[in-house]
Amino acid sequence: MPATEPAHRISGFVDLQVNGGFGHDFTTNPESIWEVATRLPEHGVTAFLPTIVSSPPKAVFAAFGVLAAGPPDGWVGAHPLGLHLEGPFLAPERRGTHEADLLAEPDLELVERWIDAGPPRMVTLAPERPGAREAVGRLRAAGTIVALGHSACTAEAAGAAFEWGAAHVTHLFNGMSGLDHRHPGLAAAALTHPTATVGLIGDGVHVHPTMLRLAHRILGHRRIALATDAVAALGAGDGSYRLGGLTVTVHDGVVRNESGDLAGGAASMPHLVRTMLAATGAPSHEVLAMATTTPARIVGFTPWTGDAVLLDGDFEVISTTIDHAVVYRRSP
């Protein structure tokens, strides 16, 4: 975008899928949630969902404990809005970078323990797994947003899950059955459902620009939440990092697992905004809504009036304000 374009003062970015950042992984080190949150304002993020990937139960409950204990004295940073549990109720054939041995069928006893400890703000699961219907119902009754993802389900199975109460789809197109003309899957169901919302990793790596345009034309800016799916590499550069129990490697800003598959993201929210603007040609206010008001509405969050981000004409962050105080200002 031209640098001469006027600056934008908007609500802070809201990211519904942050696995870590700045060298820290939330699944293996949940105590780092507060440290990462202090630095997310560098990228204009003022609220986020710390995301825990498929892991032993003790890792999930440790993360619940970190949030329940609250921030350290004097802490200032992006607001954690509750946990996003991505797994372990996922389909093995669409697991991506989730350890196969840690996947499980939906377990109501475990769900009840999550609810007692949290409840989680969002849970991503595969609706075709036995017991998914009961898990969706119980989570919805507890106020958790149920998202479909890492799934090989048919469009019909996804449609049934939306009727059970699922309302969101995690990282549309990635880790799911797709748009086959004879065997449509979860992605097709999301695009044709009248109200389902989606997360979209619009970094130019996870989803081709043509598919970004397709999603925008069908769903519009009120049903797409840009999500970074950030791993520990966010803000830390190329190198090797942990994502749960696995090692991922970042080269030229692209995160891959040991098999060479994509394994989360390293791009910032401003990068996603620029990529979506270039791919879709949509007005800037629509793309900015995908990073602010739309994700906030999806999780039932009313942004604080004292939270804002100032962007320059290239959509880079000039300053970020939280609770009426400037917590990040770009160096001159």
CB 37 within 8 A of CB 302: no
Pairwise CA distance, residues 317 & 302, whole Å: 22
Rounded average pLDDT over 224-231: 98
Q: What is the pTM of this model?
A: 0.96
Q: What is the pLDDT of residue 7?
A: 84
When computed from its CA atoms, the radius of gyration of the chain, rounded to whole angstroms, is 18
What DSSP string describes 248-276? EEEETTEEE-TTS-B-SB---HHHHHHHH
Catalytic position from the list 180, 229, 307, 312: 229
CB 83 within 8 A of CB 67: yes
Rounded average pLDDT over 9-26: 97
The full set of domain ranges for the chain reads 13-306
Which pLDDT tens digit goes with each residue over 252-294? Answer: 999 999 999 999 999 999 999 999 999 999 999 999 999 999 9
Q: Hey, what are 164's tokens? A: 């059970």
Q: What is the pLDDT of residue 273?
A: 98
Q: Hey, what are 135's tokens? A: 């898990």
Q: Percent of the chain, pLDDT > 70?
A: 98
Binning the chain into helix, strand and coil, the percentages to the nearest 5 are: 30, 25, 45
Find, among 180, 176, 185, the residue nearest to 150 by Cα: 176
Query: How far is CA 141 from each of CA 63, 110, 135, 144, 297, rounded to the nearest angstrom?
Result: 22, 15, 10, 7, 19
Query: How far is CA 10 from each of CA 46, 280, 289, rounded to the nearest angstrom?
Result: 11, 20, 9
Pairing of β 8-10 and β 308-311 = antiparallel
Instruction: Please tell me the class of the 13-306 domain.
Output: alpha beta
Q: What is the pLDDT of residue 1?
A: 40
Mean pLDDT of the chain: 96
Question: Quick check: helix, strand or coil at residue 293?
Answer: helix
Catalytic: 15? no
